[in-house]
């Protein structure tokens, strides 16, 4: 397990998948506690927030085009966001957090709880087969 994950609190290992709880959704806004669940983006943003890298509630396509809070990078570093989709487009892309050592922490419907996958695990699944790209959270201004 990548060392970065040793600093993740137990509560972030037990978050259930809930597709309707996404960044900016009424459900997540009314009850921000992730004990009620999260989608992949809300979960990834909470992981980043835990490590001092908060992001605004951007949906995947907004995240991809954002230049205020994030920047695109070509190689991942720990805590970078990886976006995956079936066709390489950012709309509706799945978001995970690079933890180092060829590992991505993410929350998906298939597993139902946070999981750590190798990039090949994403490539082997049609819904995640293409890496859209990598975004890095910028320091707060």
DSSP letters for 37-101: -B-HHHHHHHHHHHTT-------HHHHHH--SSEEEESS--TT-EEEEESSS-STT-EEEEEEET
Residue 133 reports pLDDT greater than 80: yes
Q: What is the pTM of this model?
A: 0.96
User: How far out from the chain centre does Cα 89 lie?
Assistant: 16
SS3 43: helix
What is the domain range of residue 87?
10-137
Cα(95)–Cα(38) distance, rounded to whole angstroms? 12
Cα(16)–Cα(68) distance, rounded to whole angstroms? 30
Residue 76 lies in a domain: yes
- Tell me, what CATH number does 116's domain have? 3.90.1720.10
Number of domains in the chain: 1
Residue 32 lies in a domain: yes
Residue 3 lies in a domain: no
Q: For residue range 31-62, what is the model confidence (pLDDT) as tens digits?
A: 999 999 999 999 999 999 999 999 999 999 99
Residue 133 lies in a domain: yes
What the block records as the tokens of 94 is 């799945």
Residue 141 reports pLDDT greater than 70: no
Residue 73 lies in a domain: yes
Residue 104 lies in a domain: yes
Q: Which of 37, 40, 72, 51 is nearest to 3 (CA)?
A: 51
Residue 45 backbone dihedrals phi, psi, to 5 degrees: -65, -35
Q: What are the distances in angstroms from CA 46 to CA 32, 52, 107, 116? A: 10, 10, 11, 16
Q: For residue range 67-85, what is the model confidence (pLDDT) as tens digits?
A: 999 999 999 999 999 999 9
């Amino acid at each position: 397990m990548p060392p970065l994950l040793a600093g993740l609190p137990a509560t972030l290992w037990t978050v259930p998948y809930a597709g309707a709880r996404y960044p900016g959704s009424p459900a997540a806004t009314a009850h921000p506690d992730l004990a009620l669940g999260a989608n992949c983006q809300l979960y990834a943003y909470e992981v980043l927030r835990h490590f001092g890298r908060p992001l605004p509630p951007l949906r995947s396509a907004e995240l991809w085009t954002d230049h205020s809070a994030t920047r695109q990078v070509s190689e991942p570093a720990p805590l970078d966001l990886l976006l995956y989709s079936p066709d390489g487009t950012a709309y509706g892309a799945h978001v995970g957090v690079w933890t180092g050592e060829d590992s991505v922490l993410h929350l998906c419907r298939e597993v139902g709880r946070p999981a750590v996958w190798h990039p090949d695990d994403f490539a082997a699944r049609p819904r995640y087969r293409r890496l859209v790209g990598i975004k890095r959270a910028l320091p707060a201004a």
